[in-house]
Structure 1
């Protein structure tokens, strides 16, 4: 990584593409464009990637991408947990598998649970091997540079002071609270959300199972993600209640966890304090326009996703792959430096809006039919008829697995970006 100032003499630095945000979408896009021979600079406001990333899911399509980029062997050496199934407890005491990724005809039939900083370090190291790639850490975008009817780059602050980076294309990959997204003022469609999520971990001896374990009971919900030596918990509660949750205290949270997940009752004491519980303000929205001359939003900067299904990271990575494939040649030919670059950038939105609408529609349906009724006290279980059908015809579990593990309109790495291990 580099945290050098953008220019030794204070003059604006120039590159072909400046990417704001060093998350999965930003680093995948930076790596791919650098392999296409495009000069690219990524701005990351933190000093490193060691932050709380909550879900940390790497889906089968992203695993295939790492294969194609020649990075899978290095990724596979990172300690990880493999999730092949999503299951609910059945009334007969046996789990009911609702989504089985192991039944899909894929190279990697699982979701890998990996601390996201390990994945980002891997991507950054691979990108740093490309001559046109620069990563500037501790550089926070504070606004955009405008002129000639277009966006011409970004303004930033860093430990060395403030400055500008000028570019043919500015790409916002800086999440749901995107600085670039706010600066350009694209119109947004927001969807109402009635719940939030609280993330924490319960230490366990070894690993408890290979399935995601969603549980709903008594107006509370939780999803347990088994990992080696601990279980990561996403507790679900009504929006606007964070102060109440914290006022009830750690003992109430431990009791709630033990009630929802009895297999963890002997270990909930490992939740040390409410300081270890991280609140996520859940949002669901999407931009009506992702682009203007010289600027493009992708990933959460274009469409903030609910954590339901854990599909937001996969969608963002797919956005990045499509963006690189569609824009590498125009960027090399200087076609995005002109006043009408928005027409070319529109190709990305046309390609990626459909999967965004499908996934958000699936999430909204689950919010309305499962999450909110459960938080209102309803008992949510698969019907006896559905359980019988899934046990009699288990291949049906591949259908929801396809939505979760692959998603609509998956993207493949362009040929020019592929490498052998």
Structure 2
């Protein structure tokens, strides 16, 4: 064997799993098709559940040395009414906030921690082309360069378009999503603007993620509607942003071209079977998450923790290793399938509210008497529940 475990994909799930297995003395190799981590990721949120894991790994001082933006609260502006929609300060300290950190910095931190263990290998610029089979089991991967890497367990952590998953003959069930997202950057307004995640009215819905020096913006559009946006042109796009968020009337003039607007095709899917004898899928390879609540990275990392804590001990069974590994893979799916399905169901509910315009009708301007009463009584009661759901997800994992 070239390794006990071969992981295809150097994203959050793959690198975290490699680190956790190496801490147990497992021989692990992670292959990543890109030559470095420095790419424009759209998901940069690190939630309290992941911060708790960073603390458990003893990496907090290194994490805090990397520039990042803690956000304990985020507002939503609906029909001009500002709502304090997300407040994580009710969560246990010290991780009572989410933070924005470039994903390449988070991956570099985890990879450096993994490299401190002699059983951890990270091979950049190496891409899986398929899987190897031996005695009816998956026995490793074959790279695009024709190299064979044999392993007792092969892990697909190579994203929603996973090559390894396809080679395993696994096809996820896709859940219809009525929206896509157009991503672009705008400078921050010259006048101070409270940290605001969402702007919504009858003209549309805009996400604004505050980052150092600029706003990462996401305009929600109907599925496959980007061609219409391109046909309407840049000025129409600018007007649409301004009608949703008047405070961005100045910054949106800095958007020079629709070439600076990137399409994120939103999809939600999940495998019925996450494993085959000798192979396991985790992260986006097992379940593509919607951008709603920004939990994709954190759910991928939760998968990695669950896998490490079950696969590591199974690999030490020298008498029935293959059987123990397969049982561990089945246990990972049992552990992570329900919380994943619950979050996806919640995301799909939000998609429906967006598509029908119900989200933009949550509160009128001015609010009705009933809406005012709800904002005073119901919303404060829901905030702690929302904080736990967004901050931890369903069934957060802990490192033992």
Match of residue 85 from structure 2: 98
Match of residue 45 from structure 2: 57
1:166 aligns to 2:147 (yes or no): no
Match of residue 391 from structure 1: 376
Contact 2:27 2:120 in 1 (8 A): yes
Per the TM alignment, residue 382 of structure 1 is displaced from its structure 2 partner at its CA by 4.0
- CA deviation vs aligned residue, 1:206-256 (integer Å, no higher than 9, x gap): 895564421223452211111221111011101112222223233222222
Using the size of structure 2 for normalisation, the TM-score is 0.93
3-state secondary structure, aligned to 1:145: strand
**Partners in 2 of 1:29 and 1:335 — Cα distance?**
24
Pair 19,386 (structure 1): closer, same or farther in 2 beyond 3 Å: farther
Per the TM alignment, residue 387 of structure 1 is displaced from its structure 2 partner at its CA by 5.2
Contact 2:155 2:280 in 1 (8 A): yes
3-state secondary structure, aligned to 1:235: strand
Contact 1:85 1:210 in 2 (8 A): no
Per the TM alignment, residue 29 of structure 1 is displaced from its structure 2 partner at its CA by 0.6
3-state secondary structure, aligned to 1:233: strand
- CA deviation vs aligned residue, 1:345-402 (integer Å, no higher than 9, x gap): 100001001100110110111111x21113xx98432475455334346243111111
Which sections of structure 1, spanning at least 5 residues, go unmatched?
Answer: 1-12, 415-421
1:286-365 matches, within 5 Å, as 286-334=270-318, 337-338=321-322, 341-365=325-349
Pair 164,382 (structure 1): closer, same or farther in 2 beyond 3 Å: farther
Contact 1:101 1:110 in 2 (8 A): yes
**Partners in 1 of 2:167 and 2:309 — Cα distance?**
26
**Partners in 1 of 2:189 and 2:76 — Cα distance?**
23
Pair 287,379 (structure 1): closer, same or farther in 2 beyond 3 Å: same
3-state secondary structure, aligned to 1:237: strand
Contact 1:206 1:228 in 2 (8 A): no
Contact 2:77 2:200 in 1 (8 A): no
Pair 34,175 (structure 1): closer, same or farther in 2 beyond 3 Å: same
Match of residue 398 from structure 2: 412
- Root mean square deviation of aligned Cα: 2.1
**Partners in 2 of 1:162 and 1:206 — Cα distance?**
54
1:18 aligns to 2:6 (yes or no): yes
Using the size of structure 1 for normalisation, the TM-score is 0.88
Which sections of structure 2, spanning at least 5 residues, go unmatched?
Answer: none
Per the TM alignment, residue 337 of structure 1 is displaced from its structure 2 partner at its CA by 4.8
**Partners in 1 of 2:7 and 2:233 — Cα distance?**
41
1:32 aligns to 2:20 (yes or no): yes
Give aligned pairs, total.
Answer: 395
